[in-house]
Amino acid sequence: MPRFLVIQSARLGDLVQTRRLLLTLAERGETHLAVDTGLVPLARVLYPFARLHALPLYTRDAATAARQIDDVLRIWRDLDFAAVYNCNFSSAGTSLCRLFVPERVHGYRPGSGGPERSPWARRAFRLTEHRACGSLNLVDYWGHFASDPIAPERVNPPASGGGAGLGVVLAGRESRRSLPVPLLARIVRTLHDFMGGPRVCLLGSAQERPVARRLLRELPARMLGNVEDLSGKTDLPALVEAVRGLDRLVTPDTGIMHLAAALGVPVLAFFLSSAYAHETGPYGIGHTVVQADIPCVPCLESAPCQFDVRCLRPFEEERLPGALVALLEGGRPADIRLPDGLQAWASGLDALGGILKLTAGRDAQASLRCAARRELAAWLGISAADIAGEGSSPDAVAEETARRWLRADSDWMLPSRRYS
C-alpha cells in the first residue's frame, strides 16, 4: 500500500480546508499528516484515518523545536512516501521537503531561489493577481494537488440544522474582518427572534472573552437566559462538540466557520476587508454568505486600510437585518432589500468544486469569474459543460482575458498534471 504525506503548516481553518486532499489520499493508501503541535487534537478528531506528526511551528523555544523536528525527520527517513503534498508557500514547511526526492513533492518544493510552485499551484495562484474575479475555493486549490480528487459532494455533508440552537463566532483573528459588537448584537437579536428563541452559544478563544461581555451587555434581558458563553472554555475537541448539531452559525471568515461546514452546520458568514468568499467561503451545499462589494475589496490583510474600513458601512445600514430574514426565508431577489455595496451568495458545487451563486446584489465580475473558472477546469481536464456559470456565461472578451491571466509561455512546455 502506498504512503502519502501531507504537510499543513498553517492554522485551524487551513487544516479543515485540506479535507478534500486528505480524503482523496485516504482512499489510495496510508495517509500521514504533519501539523502544528497545537492542532494535533483537532486533526485526530477530523481525520482519524491519518497518522499524525506534530511539528512545533509556532513555539518560541528554538532549541526544543529543533529537537522535535529532528525526531520527526528521523521517522520520515524510514518511511517510503510515494508522494508528499506541501500545502503552504513558506520556508518552514518547504525546508522539510529537502528530505524527499523533488519529483515526489507536490504543491511547494525547495527551489534554487526559495520555495517553488508546481504547475497547478503556479497557474491557480495567478488568479490572486485578480482577486476580485476569484473563482477557486482554497479547498479545491489544495484538493487538486492530487490528480482526480474525490467528488466535491463527498467532502462536506449538505448543511442541515441539528436542533442545538444558534452559534455565534465572536470575532476573527483579524479585527478588520469582524463585525463590531453593536452590529453583531443587532444581527443576533434578529436571528434569535426569527428562529423562535433558540439557545445561543457564543464561541471564541480566551482572547474573545471581552467581546463576549460587551455582546451580552448589548443583548436584551429577555435573551440572556438562552445565551451560553463558551469563549475560552473549550479545547479543540470540545469545540467540535459545541459546533456539532447547531441550527446555524453566524461568523466572519474563521476556522470555526470551516469546522461548521465540515460538520454540516448551516453557516451565515459575513465577508469584508481582506476576506473574500470566492476564495475561502464555507464549502458545500446550504450555506449563505454576505460579501462586501466595493472597489477596494478584497484588500491585503498585511496592508493598513487607507479608507477607514469603508467596506463595513453597508453592513451597518438599518435595513440589513430585515434583508437577512428575507434571505434566510428564501425570498425572491426582488424581495431581499440588501444594502448597496453588499452581495448575498448561496454555496453550491460543480465539477471543479465549491462555487457561490448570487442570490441578491450585483456581480460586475460574473463573466470574468466564470471564464477564469472554466480556464482552470480545462487545464484539469474538466469539461466546460460541467462548470457552473454563476448566473452568467462568459463572453469572448472574458474568455480571452482569462486565458491571458492564467497561461504563460512556459505552460505549453509542461505536460498537464505531471507535477501538481
In this predicted model, what pLDDT tens digit does every residue of 280-318 receive, in sequence order?
A: 999 999 999 999 999 999 999 889 998 999 999 999 999
Helix runs in 305-393, H state only: 320-328, 366-379
User: Cα–chain-centroid distance for residue 352?
Assistant: 16
The model's confidence at residue 373, banded by pLDDT at 50, 70 and 90, is very high
Instruction: For residue 180, count other CB atoms closer than 10 A to its CB.
Output: 15
Q: For 143-147, 253-257, 299-303, which range has the lowest pLDDT when averaged over its residues? A: 299-303
Q: What is the mean pLDDT of residues 380-406?
A: 85
Listed residue (260, 293, 295, 91) closest to 169, CA to CA:
260
Listed residue (300, 286, 8, 43) closest to 138, CA to CA:
8
Q: What is the mean pLDDT of residues 114-134?
A: 90
Is residue 253 within 8 Å of residue 279, measured between CB atoms? no
What pLDDT sits at residue 389? 63
Residue 73 predicted with pLDDT over 50: yes
What average pLDDT is seen over the chain?
A: 93
What pLDDT sits at residue 60? 80
What pLDDT sits at residue 413? 42
The model's confidence at residue 374, banded by pLDDT at 50, 70 and 90, is very high
Residue 78 predicted with pLDDT over 80: yes
Per-residue cell: 35: 501539523
What pLDDT sits at residue 120? 93
Q: Which domains, ranges and CATH numbers included, belong to the chain?
A: 3-116 (3.40.50.2000), 166-360 (3.40.50.2000)
The model's confidence at residue 414, banded by pLDDT at 50, 70 and 90, is very low
Residue 398 predicted with pLDDT over 80: yes
**CA dist., res. 281 & res. 348, Å (int):** 11
> Which of helix, strand or coil describes residue 167?
strand
- Share above pLDDT 90 across residues of the chain, in percent, rounded to a whole number: 82
Please give the radius of gyration of the chain, using alpha carbons only, rounded to the nearest integer: 22
Residue 127 predicted with pLDDT over 70: yes
